[in-house]
Amino acid sequence: MTENNIQLEERLVGKIEGEFYVPSYQRGYRWDESQVMALLNDVYDNGENSYCLQPIVVRKGDDGRYELIDGQQRLTTLYIIYKFMTNRWPDYIENVNYSLSYETRQENDYFFNNIENEEIANSNIDFFFIHQAYKTVEKWFALDRGKKPLHVAGKLSEFFDNNVKVIWYEMKSGSEADAISLFTRLNIGRIPLTNAELVKALFLCQTEQVTKSKQMEISLQWDTIERELHDDDLWYFLTKKNAVSYATRIELLFDFMAGKSDDEREQFFTFLHFSKQRENLLELWDGILRYYYRLKEWYKNDKLYHKIGYLVATGTSTIDLLMNETKVLKKSAMDALLDDKIRQSIDSKKPYSELSYQNDPGIITNILLLFNVISLLQNGSGARFPFKEFNNESWSLEHIHAQHSLKLNTQEKWKEWLKLHIDSVKKLESTESLLVEMKEAIDNERLTDIKFNELADKITTLFSEQGDTEYVHSISNMALLQCSKNAALSNALFDAKCRMIREMDANGQFIPYCTKMVFMKYYSSDKQNSISLNFWGQKDREAYVAKMNEVLKDYLKAPIRYGSE
């Protein structure tokens, strides 16, 4: 396809004119009732708001007719709707401005003029589906809307004339092979035109603004940006959205610039945003480059990488909002803005010591993520927090030292929990009889909850510090881990969980920096006491909280207190 010979514009449905034919290499019309109903409902329910349908891709032949490369199903459905309205209310609804034919069906005109005739409709499969669609349109108009069908038809006709448009993508020249190639890519390959491709076409249209050499330069720069955005470290610094949801990654950049929200219903919102600026394409492209290079500067700067990455990962802000808020700020003012947003992300209406796993998981998660991010930023090793790991997986709060009773309600889970703790019990003296009981329970085909709870209580007592257990759901007993489907692991005691986390780390599974430090007892001051290595005690929790206060002192509204101190 000769890419620099394209006409690209938005065209109201009521302004579509000409003779269209569906070439022989395409399958015929196949929309079912649900698809026809959906199109009618979307257009009617949208009312007088602007509404854009999928692109219509055509190539104009020497005879002046349009070869319909993509959009056959939509354009045919619109034609059928017009046919129904003009047949039913010929004195009130204007005729459609275009005609439609199938290269493989010579009797097209006769059929469309007799579209209600069952006998003609059954003469071939294409006519059959078109006739069924016509009956669906009739069914739609018969629905009770509290208005006369003629009034509904009048409103629908107005919407087509004033509000409903298509993206008109016309190949001004090129061989038949080019058209077949594009059709294969769009239809057989099921890869539709994306917002990004339509934006690119703006710069490749025939225009006095963009010379051939400038088009080549834009194409090279475009490819460079697309290639660099395939670096997942960069991608997941910029967004939490899964990369596979973007056929063309540069589209994320355009979504940012267009300010497209996650709940935006207009599929081609981003393209339409840029299409409005086509009067000065060179200035538009320069703006795209400046935007991207600024994002690259943020990514390369360690401080900005960690702070902005954290705000994006927690959903506190987004790249497009940050770009708008900081575009005129000096470095110091930008730093202050980011720090203020970070403080807001962990602001709590209650004292941090009162936050709990059950009631405040969101803010505890934010605090622990920030603890990990700022720890890496401050430690001077040059290591970066891998947002690609965090944003591309599901994460949960894990009890550092768990209570076995949580979520363990089947024999399979009870036995798995016991298996996880055998090696821990073996390390202690005078536990031979307990080990025998554990193994018997594991082999018992009728293990009861009473017997399991009896054993679990004994094991928990061995690996727990005496005293109250109010700390269990507090931030001093929480760490970040990837969500586990293994309930027994989630409810494991400290010693068993240490062993499992070491195995996960050895197998290449990402373990957040501070989570590793916790299970290595890095923050604890009582490392010389060998017994304390088996459980997560009060001194460990106090040291853990103290480290959080040290690292996060610039962001916490008040120090995290431990217990009643």
> What's the average model confidence in pLDDT over 249-275?
93
Give the model's pLDDT for residue 404.
59
Give the model's pLDDT for residue 221.
95
How far is the C-alpha of 32 from the C-alpha of 285, rounded, in Å?
A: 42
Q: How confident is the model at residue 543 (pLDDT cuts 50, 70, 90)?
A: very high
pLDDT digits (tens, 9 = 90+) for 281-297: 999 999 999 999 999 99
Nearest to 183 by CA among 325, 25, 291, 47: 25
What is the average pLDDT score of the chain? 88
> What's the average model confidence in pLDDT over 62-69?
89
Nearest to 412 by CA among 459, 383, 445, 387: 445
pLDDT digits (tens, 9 = 90+) for 164-216: 999 999 887 655 555 566 656 565 555 567 899 899 888 877 567 778 888 88
Q: What share of the chain in percent tops pLDDT 90?
A: 58
Nearest to 233 by CA among 306, 318, 319, 331: 306
pLDDT digits (tens, 9 = 90+) for 34-61: 999 999 999 999 999 999 998 999 988 8
Residue 100 bridge partners (DSSP): 20
- Per-residue pLDDT for 102 more than 90? no
Beta strands 6-12 and 164-171 are antiparallel
Nearest to 33 by CA among 77, 83, 92: 77
Residue 397 bridge partners (DSSP): 480
Give the model's pLDDT for residue 265.
84
Q: Which residue has the tokens 């690292």?
A: 551
How far is the C-alpha of 385 from the C-alpha of 233, rounded, in Å?
A: 10
> What's the average model confidence in pLDDT over 464-484?
81
Query: 50 and 163 in contact (C-beta within 8 Å)?
Result: yes
Give the model's pLDDT for residue 531.
44
Give the model's pLDDT for residue 530.
46
How far is the C-alpha of 177 from the C-alpha of 170, rounded, in Å?
A: 16
pLDDT digits (tens, 9 = 90+) for 421-457: 999 899 888 889 999 999 999 999 999 989 998 998 8
Least confident interval from 110-124, 309-323, 366-380: 110-124
Q: Indicate the DSSP class of residue 304.
A: H
- Per-residue pLDDT for 536 more than 50? yes
Give the model's pLDDT for residue 317.
97
Convert 30-58 to b/e letters by CB count within 10 Å (16 or more is b): ebeeeebbebbeebeeeeeeebbbbbbbb
Higher pLDDT, 37 or 538: 37
